[in-house]
Amino acid sequence: MSKVLKILLLILLLASLAMLVMWPHGDVGARERAPDADVMSRDFPLVLEADLPREARATLALIAKGGPFPYSKDGVTFSNREKAFPKQPRGYYREYTVKTPGSKNRGARRIVCGTPKTQTFECYYTDDHYATFRKIKL
């Protein structure tokens, strides 16, 4: 085999390898954009912070301070089994109990925040134990 042919074959092999590496597997661009697209397409009803029950406003203040929280389960990972929110890495969503006056247990009210601890710019309120959510507008 001539030296020129070997060089051409090597170039062809390298070009093929480069194409394989750079070739998108499925629609990678869409997969990378999926969380943003989901957030944009998901319309949660809004609730103003001022319109939340007093206990929910107190819970938001505790979240912003980083605690201490009255319930041991406050701040744990919300697993999103209900698929209420766009898919995010595990641990992204955290849940917090909103006290329910007269309830002997944690009750049905929660705030779920999809942000790092102590930040409240992406939080949702439910008063029916995850059946419905409203995005909290601060």
- Rounded CA separation 96/119 (Å): 13
Tell how strand 46-48 and strand 134-137 pair up.
parallel
Instruction: Let me know: does 57 contact 49? Beta carbons within 8 Å.
Output: yes
Active-site annotation holder among 25, 32, 55, 129: 129
Largest CA distance in the chain: 90
Q: Choosing from 32, 49, 82, 95, which is the catalytic residue?
A: 95
| Cα gap 31→102, rounded to integer Å | 46
Contacting residues for 64 by C-beta, under 8 A, at least 6 apart: 118, 119, 120
Instruction: Tell me, yes or no, if 129 is annotated catalytic.
Output: yes
Is the torsion defined by CA of 59, 55, 106, 108 positive or negative?
A: negative
Active site residue 49: no
Could you list the active site residues?
95, 129
